Amino acid sequence: MARAIRRPHGERRRERGGAKVPQLPYRSLRNPFPPMGFIDEDALERIHQASLRILAEIGINFLLPEAREILRAAGAEVDPGSPRVRFDPGLIEERIRTAPSSFTLHARNPERSLPIGGSWINFSVVASTPNVSDLDRGRRSGNFEDFCNLLRLGQSLNIAHTTAGYPVEPIDIPPDVRHLEAVAASARLTDRTLYGYSLGHRRILDVIEMTRIVRGISHEQLLGEPSLNTVVNANSPLQYDKPMLWGMIEMARHGQVVIVTPFTLAGAMAPVTLAGALAQQNAEALAGIAFIQIVNPGAPVMYGGFTSNVDMKTGAPAFGTPEYAKAVLVGGQLARRYAIPYRSSNVNASNCPDAQATWESMMSIWACVLAHTNLVKHALGWLEGGLCTSYEKLILDAEMLQHMAAFLEPLEVDDATLGLDAIRDVGPGGHFFGTAHTLERYETAFYRPMLSDWRNFETWSEDGAKDATTRANRIWKQLLADYEQPPLDPAIDEELTAFVARRTAEGGAPAE
């Protein structure tokens, strides 16, 4: 299909960011419509109050003694000899107030920095999957070669604003140095924002330093310029573990972005009722956000929602369900209540990049967009409830996200677009193909897809009757063939190499 697209101007080719696959240009997106709420203000208040009661009466386990000491000093109720911490509602409400309502997440290429907050929407590539698959080679464990290729695809797709986390786990890189190799590869193969996993004290400090090197700025400048992001999932229900707490502490101290995301599957790690799961999500999120603000008031954070449900027959997690869409919308309402930027995800539970993967993703994407999600994680490539990255799904998602981006473009209604003269000239029973009004606009009038096939059945059949997933296979190969590595300042490249070499020689960072 790609070759059928007329690309008359070399100029436009470069602008569009890929030589042969037609794409929308890279741009920051915002939702011009009011956010959609799912519950009324009273119900929202009841969830808020329930989560405050959870924090006051039940409390949260903070497994790191240093974290409990910080909380005790700030006025939280810490049980001696127990990990349990309880919070007075006033303490939570006061502390979360210092979280900024918007900020810029800086990339090494300033044109790829992300506006976070308000009605901005950013899409990031799938992260943290243990497996990877494509139509040719099937499903296999994550590895560094696929990891790099997925970074290249994220860089090549204009609709992917960034990669936030390993697009597949590079299991063949030893764990102690994996963060060094993976972040160095991200910094070289993409010019987008960087991500670090909160897997302990030493590792997150390494990644913070690598981020500073890649951005070519001082330690002082980094403190004021969020340039790295991490997701912290609570160990739901009601628990934060040591490696994640170290991540929260060091990221906050360095002014970097923590996306606090309880993973609250209703019926498993949270109540079977969506209201209860959301109250628990909110309690965990507020505790994490308050903790970060106590560590460093004003540190950039995001409110992450990841409430879905399990299949009650099997206990298997389900994604992109009606319940998930509702939870995404209510999560957005809660985040707006606290004026904190919101993160949710494009998810599905299908085992292959098929119609189910697509409808579950569309349930997710529409909910994310209507909810004013500021960062849609896993927006491209996620399969199997997060257990696999699919090359073909990456392209299917790119197409769906481009559809949404085009949908969010406002509609111009003025004399020229109302076109009364054209309607008059054509008259009853005529057609508009050859009119001046059409010819002046036909190249740009409509969204042009990268993957949709609109040819008639006969032409499509003669060309092999390829379904969308099969065509997606061809597109990612074309994108990889056309990939161009973004230039990196040689001095920065050298400093990065030296840092990785030194830290590798020191043994990397063992698990804590």
Site for a copy of itself in 315-334 (CB under 8 A): 315-318, 321-323, 325-326, 330
Q: How far apart are CA 188 and CA 493, in angstroms?
A: 8
Least Cβ distance, residue 343 to a copy of itself (angstroms): 21
Answer for the pair 106, 215: CB distance below 8 angstroms, yes or no: yes
Cβ proximity to a copy of itself: between 432 and 483 the closer is 432
Answer for the pair 298, 100: CB distance below 8 angstroms, yes or no: yes
Identify residues 109-148 at the interface with a copy of itself (CB under 8 A).
Answer: 139
Q: Does residue number 2 form part of the binding site for a copy of itself (CB under 8 A)?
A: no
Identify residues 450-479 at the interface with a copy of itself (CB under 8 A).
Answer: 451-457, 460-461, 465, 467-469, 472
The enclosing H or E element of 325 equals helix 322-338
Site track 245-274 with a copy of itself (rule: CB under 8 A), x = hit? ---------------------xxxxxxxxx
Q: Does residue number 64 form part of the binding site for a copy of itself (CB under 8 A)?
A: no
Q: Does residue number 505 form part of the binding site for a copy of itself (CB under 8 A)?
A: no
Token pair belonging to 410: 């406002």
List 13, 16, 437, 474, residue binding a copy of itself (CB under 8 A): 437
Answer for the pair 245, 67: CB distance below 8 angstroms, yes or no: yes
List 117, 341, 353, 381, residue binding a copy of itself (CB under 8 A): 353
User: In terms of C-beta distances under 8 Å and separation of at least 24 residues, what long-range contacts does 32-36 make, across chains too?
Assistant: 32/119, 32/408, 32/410, 33/370, 33/408, 35/119, 35/332, 35/333, 35/336, 35/370, 35/371, 35/372, 36/329, 36/370, 36/371
CA angle 345, 237, 58 (to 5 degrees): 130
List 237, 288, 305, 508, residue binding a copy of itself (CB under 8 A): 237
Answer for the pair 318, 309: CB distance below 8 angstroms, yes or no: yes
Count of residues interacting with a copy of itself (CB under 8 A): 125
Q: Does residue number 398 form part of the binding site for a copy of itself (CB under 8 A)?
A: no
Cβ atoms < 10 Å from Cβ of 366: 17
- How far from each other are the two terminal CA atoms of the chain, in whole angstroms? 51
Least Cβ distance, residue 49 to a copy of itself (angstroms): 9
For residue 412, what is the DSSP state? P
Cβ proximity to a copy of itself: between 218 and 314 the closer is 314
Least Cβ distance, residue 65 to a copy of itself (angstroms): 16
List 8, 10, 80, 429, residue binding a copy of itself (CB under 8 A): 429
Least Cβ distance, residue 130 to a copy of itself (angstroms): 11
List 16, 20, 35, 61, residue binding a copy of itself (CB under 8 A): 61
List 11, 80, 224, 413, residue binding a copy of itself (CB under 8 A): 413
List 8, 80, 81, 428, residue binding a copy of itself (CB under 8 A): 428
Answer for the pair 258, 252: CB distance below 8 angstroms, yes or no: yes
Q: How far apart are CA 88 and CA 90, in angstroms?
A: 5
Q: Does residue number 312 form part of the binding site for a copy of itself (CB under 8 A)?
A: yes
Token pair belonging to 228: 């790295």
Q: How far apart are CA 156 and CA 164, in angstroms?
A: 15
Cβ proximity to a copy of itself: between 104 and 239 the closer is 239
Least Cβ distance, residue 133 to a copy of itself (angstroms): 9
List 407, 494, 502, 506, residue binding a copy of itself (CB under 8 A): 407
Identify residues 361-380 at the interface with a copy of itself (CB under 8 A).
Answer: 361-363, 366
Cβ atoms < 10 Å from Cβ of 475: 26
Q: Which has the closest alpha carbon to 451: 409, 395, 404, 408?
A: 395
Least Cβ distance, residue 507 to a copy of itself (angstroms): 32
Q: Does residue number 77 form part of the binding site for a copy of itself (CB under 8 A)?
A: no
